[in-house]
A and B are shown apart, each in its own frame.
Chain A
């Protein structure tokens, strides 16, 4: 269980039928991996998240949420609107 950061991928939204590996490719600290055709989160790496927002900016379906457990703040695609996808 992570202490500081919880990264969640909404399986209902992820890929939405389209092939996509954007978050897996872009995350600099390897938090995502392909799992059963969707993006999965590697739990032991979650606390390494550097809050760069790249995954949020690149996810075409706004399926990712990053929860800062120490600040009660949840970052989603809406936080980075206007960033290049």
Chain B
């Protein structure tokens, strides 16, 4: 879950990072009260869950209150790269003598946490060809023991710092590693980390992403900081998506939820990942209109699959569902079949008519096929491609 800049900064401030003084404004009507507390020059920054704000004109430097008001009023009624601006951060401008880049994230290829630091921060640090990769310091972060002070200093030294700057930067590196682990982040990025004229290191911009599966360990985000749960896309989940998340939380077994709502009429029960994107695209290519995207896997309970099926079928206009997955080894075909049949029946539908396609080959498929046959559900095995199964599902919609 991606946090907005001001949310990230609030949290980082509480963890001891130095953050410029700022105030959040949500409506033009709040400017009268907010502006007297802003010291100029200042930055007016649109709070949207997407990068590239500077280049999109959504971060504006202003020299006085009048310019701040103009910029704020303009930004508040617009969109930035497709996202409506729901809040602004008005923040004192930092006198920057040097810009650094600092990030902690997971390397999904090496499957470990890594820390990245560079003496060349700024808007283009991540663009290919803009930053020379040899100037990026990279070090593995042990998620069990965190980062020792001396290791943080090694990073600072490799960035090219010495003396007081080395100590100051190393302190921020250590804090960043602690915050990343403590907040169950998947990404913590400070760019730029500004060194001021006085030699302080200030977080000029921050980007925090928290692992959604770990949100239950971070209840203070919602209760303390009042940060609502959002989809990975940054928008708030729809009512339908929220209810799907509740289905997934019924028990700890497997996944049957993680739904994204679309406006079509063909419900999808798909596995998530590449094969599901293939199925989704194939359905659209054959003229179908998916009502949702979802993730099922890891042997969810029959109850969860049934509840998800019911939820999808409860949407207006959704008469049929397509159950399409790649060959599954970690999810039993018969248990998925039980779930969708049970869900259809509990929704008052005939499974044979409602399940437009069932293409889930894999473990216990013969058992699943016996069950599907019994309920008159058309199914296919791995001899039928995902594309063909999608075509059949769309054809049955017609």
Contact = CB atoms under 8 A, between A and B. Distances in A.
A48 B303 contact: yes
A71 interface: yes
Given A3-B345, A4-B338, A47 B370 contact: no
B370 A70 contact: yes
B341 interface: yes
Contacts of A51: 367
Nearest to A47: B302
A70 B302 CA distance: 15
Contacts of A50: 332, 335
Interface residues of B, number: 14
B371 interface: yes
A78 B335 CA distance: 24
A26 B385 CA distance: 39
A75 to B, nearest CB: 12
A47 B332 contact: no
A71 B374 CA distance: 8
A47 B342 contact: yes
B326 interface: no
A51 B299 CA distance: 14
A71 B370 contact: yes
B292 interface: no
Nearest to B335: A50
A23 to B, nearest CB: 19
Interface in A60-77: 70-71
Most chain B beta carbons < 10 A, residue from A29, A50, A51, A70? A70
Contact of A70 (B335, B345, B371): B371
B347 to A, nearest CB: 14
Interface residues of A, number: 9
A3 B335 contact: no
B301 interface: yes
Interface of A is mostly: loop
Nearest to B374: A70
A15 B375 CA distance: 37
A12 to B, nearest CB: 30
A84 B375 CA distance: 36
Contacts of A71: 370-371, 374
Interface string A1-25: 0011000000000000000000000
Contacts of A48: 301-303
Nearest to A73: B370
Interface in B371-390: 371, 374-375
A3 B341 contact: yes
A3 B342 contact: yes
Contacts of B335: 50
B365 to A, nearest CB: 14
A3 B343 CA distance: 11
Most chain B beta carbons < 10 A, residue from A29, A47, A71? A47
Contacts of B341: 3
Contacts of A70: 370-371, 374-375
A65 to B, nearest CB: 18
Contacts of B301: 29, 48
A4 B335 CA distance: 10
Contacts of B303: 47-48
Nearest to B375: A70
A29 B342 CA distance: 18
A3 B303 CA distance: 12
A71 B338 CA distance: 13
A3 B193 CA distance: 60
A73 to B, nearest CB: 9
A10 to B, nearest CB: 25
Interface of A: 3-4, 29, 47-48, 50-51, 70-71
Given A47-B302, A50-B332, A70-B375, 8 more contacts: A4-B338, A4-B342, A48-B301, A48-B302, A70-B370, A70-B371, A71-B370, A71-B371
Which 3 A-B residue pairings sit nearest by Cβ, starting from the closest? A70-B374, A70-B371, A47-B302
12 contacts: A3-B341, A4-B338, A4-B371, A29-B301, A47-B303, A47-B342, A48-B301, A48-B303, A70-B370, A70-B374, A71-B370, A71-B371
Interface of B: 301-303, 332, 335, 338, 341-342, 345, 367, 370-371, 374-375
